Structures are given as structure tokens and as C-alpha cells.
Structure 1
């Protein structure tokens, strides 16, 4: 089942109260758009039906199996080899484009540097010949300052690697699987469950319940490939650019299909 990718949800704010249920705020009703909220001890139900009586979706979903299936799909079903490969290709293509832009800027800077050197040589010749004036001294100071700034910029550009080299897609895919597995393991530890749950909340965009699917009720899990790949590359933090970063807009638009499973 393929549906259009939706806008990623916002991350939980810092200092927010601990979530009692892992998928709270992420489960949606396909019929009315309301959140699924906890009902009793072990079930999620559509808030539109349960609290307001405005929805006909009476499908209740057991909490534990839904959470287990969602995490398994996050780890193994959402980020495929083709997705990771496409992401890496787009990353490298954009990195090359940006590098070419830096090279063009460096060429312009190098040309201007040569011009400054000629101008300063001419001004120095005038000084030797005794042609000194306040305007000439100002011109010398200004050009010396511009020359120093250009030399520093060109020196930094020569040594810089703005985006760095991204790992091969099989390595990134394996890295992602291992990190999600580690997060799943920490959910059983009450001392760090809150932090792990917050990270998973940023990775999972939504879990939508379809009560009237042809083969029975289904849940659709949606995530952003940009968020998943950023997690694989950068760990628990969002990308910030620099070596190993992947904040390029071209990558965020990479096609990504949701995954569904039977309830």
C-alpha cells in the first residue's frame, strides 16, 4: 500500500513529561484524523469515537503488539537497501555540486588576489618615487587588509571538506539497524527509557490505523528517509552540516514509501 509521504512531526520538546506509552501522539485514525489514545490499560482507541462520539471507527488495538510490530518495521522494513543507496548517491551528487561552487568562488578569489598584488606593487613603486599622499596610504591599507582576508579565506578553503565523505550504503544500513536495536533494548530500562522513546518519536512520523482495509484492519507506519539516514549517520542528534552531515535539501526529498501490517 503506497500513500503520499506526510510532513514529519515535530520532536518532543526538552523537559516534556515522560510518556507513559511509547506511541502516544503518533497513532492516527484514518477515518477522522483524531489521535488514538490509551483506553483502559492495554488498548488504543480513536479519541473521536471514544471521547466525542464523532467517528464510527470502533477498532481497538492492543498496545504491546502494536508497539512491537511498529518497532520491528522501523528497524527492518522502512529503510531498505534501495533507499539507502539512493540517499548516498544524492548526497555525493550534491556534495560534488557544492564543491564545484566552492572551486568557482576560489578561482574568483585567486584572480582578485593577483589583482591586489599588482595594485600594491604599483603603489609601492609610487612610494619609492616619493609620490605619497593620504589617499595613497589609505589605498595601501585597504588593499593590504583585503589581501590578508582573501589569503585567509583561500587557505581555509584549500583545507576544508564541507560535507565529508559519506559511508557506503550497506554500512549505513547496517549501522541504522544496530542503532535501532540498541534503542529497542533500552526501552526495558526505566532509567533511560524516556530518552530512547524521544529518539524513536523523532524517527517515526506516524502510525495510522485503517479499520476498513480489504483484508481487515491495518496499521501504516510512516517515516522520513532524511530522519532515518540522519540517525544512521549522526547518532541521536539531528544533522548540523560539516563532516558527515547530511542536511542537504535534495536528500530530504528522496522518495519513501510507508509500510503497512495487519492488526
Structure 2
């Protein structure tokens, strides 16, 4: 948790690097760790087995059902109420810590501004008295520059603190997230924007691991970063200009292990 203005996972619809398949690059073989790659039109297979012959996993997974199951897991299983409550508590702790830092730095800046006012008053008196040496003018310029910088910094901090809205309740956050995923699922039906949706999915999902030899039959495990899910739930048009999401992503960057759910 360092800089609040770190670039966040704002998850806009990407304009470049659009993937044709929703889970490309995200599926892993639970036997050898290799990627599952597209095989034919509608299936994924372990690249270790298919391309290199180094894995015994011959299970092919149909693309459509796996994509649908992964989306369902993200929408309803991975972002739990406990995750959201933990996130809100961490966010509030971090916001309090940063507010204390801002307050201390603002107090220090105000003291320095008072010193600069006195120094500039003395320097201007010397200037009016006819002591107009280059060194005197340089000292005035340096202090005026520092004064302007401190005033601007304090104004920026005040605006940032005043504009930081509180987080919604856990119930509202979960509802927002599920509604956004539902809207994303709708876009998958449009071939024109499916590649954009795939780009978003690659930021929400960390991995989909295929286990071919489970006792109850083949299984898949979907893992996602809670930080990314929360940033997506809170994302709005202001996020890229330093809105809630830009602060949220940093807070969630520590202490949040990826959430996983076995399909």
C-alpha cells in the first residue's frame, strides 16, 4: 500500500489486443501446469499433451460450457460478503492513515509558508531600500517559487480529501458487481464486442485450472483476484481521473489472496 495514485484496475473495454476466445491464456492443466490452448473450433486441450507430448492429460474441454461456468462462478461465488467487508475495513483503515499523513504534511507546509512570508517581507524591504543585487533577486524568485508550489500542493490535498466519497455497503457493492458481470455476459452475445469482453475477463480471472482425474469426474477451479473484482465493482468514468477505484485498487493490493471456486 504505497502511493494512492497508483494506476488502478479500471477495466475499460480495451481497444487493442482483443482476444478471440474468452479464456485464452487463462486455462491451466492441473497435471503439468501447461496452458490449455484452443483445439479445433470449440475445444481447449492441454498444450503439454497436444503440442509436446509431455503430459498424459488428454481431456478436451468444450469452450462454451467452460466459459459460462466461469462467468457464473465469478458473478455469484467468488466475491463473498466476507471479502467485501474485509475490503471495506481495510479501505477505511488506509484512508484514515493517509488522512493523517496529509494532515501532518499540510501542517508542515503551513508553517513553512509562514516562514516564507516573513523571509519575502524582509527581502522586499531590502529591495525597496535599493539593495537590488542579482543574488537578492534570485533569493526572492526561489522563495516565490517554493511558496507557489506549497500553496498548490495544499489545495490539491484538500480537494482530494474532500472528494473522496464513502464506499457503498457490502450488499450494494455485491449487487453492483453482479449487475456489471450480467451486463458483460450480455456483450458476449455480440461478436463485435466479444473480444473486448475477453480483455476484461483476462483482468478479472487469474486462472482456470482443469483437473481431469477428480473422484467425481473432471473439474475446473476458477481463481480471481479480490482486488480486481472490487475494482470492477466500483469502476466508474471518474476512476481514470483519480476517482474511488484508483484508491481502492491500492488498498486491496495487500492482504487479499486470490479467491477460488471449484466448479
TM-score bracket, shorter-length normalisation: 0.7 to 0.9
> 1:71-90 to 2 correspondence within 5 Å?
71-90=71-90
Residue 115 of structure 2 corresponds to 115
2:209: which partner in 1? 208
Size of the aligned set, in residue pairs, is 249
Cα gap change, 1:13/1:186 in structure 2, threshold over 3 Å: closer, same or farther?
Answer: closer
The answer as to whether partners of 1:18 and 1:194 remain within 8 angstroms in 2 is yes
Contact 1:26 / 1:205 at 8 angstroms: preserved in 2? yes
Q: Structure 2 matches for 1:1-263, cutoff 5 A? A: 15-16=16-17, 18-19=19-20, 21-126=21-126, 130=129, 132-134=131-133, 135-161=135-161, 164-165=164-165, 166-235=167-236, 240=240, 242-244=242-244, 245-246=246-247, 248-253=249-254, 254-261=256-263
Q: Conserved in 1, the CA contact under 8 Å of 2:23 and 2:201?
A: no
Q: Which runs of 5+ in 1 are unaligned?
A: 1-7
The CA deviation at 1:224 is 0.8
The two structures, once aligned, show a CA RMSD in angstroms of 2.9
Contact 1:209/1:218 (8 A) holds in 2: yes
Query: After superposition, what is the alpha-carbon deviation per residue over 1:84-142, rounded to whole angstroms, capped at 9, x for unaligned?
Result: 121122122112211211111111111111112222333445556x3625144443343
If each structure's helix is expressed as a fraction of its own residues, which one has the higher value? Answer: 2
TM-score by length of structure 2 reads 0.82
TM-score, scaled relative to structure 1: 0.82
- Checking the alignment, whether the CA contact within 8 Å between 1:163 and 1:241 is kept in structure 2 is no
Q: State the structure with bigger RCO (CA 8 A, min sep 6), 1 or 2.
A: 2
Once the two structures are superposed, residues 183-228 of structure 1 have per-residue CA deviations (whole angstroms, 9 ceiling, x without a partner) of 1111111222221222122211211011223433210101111111
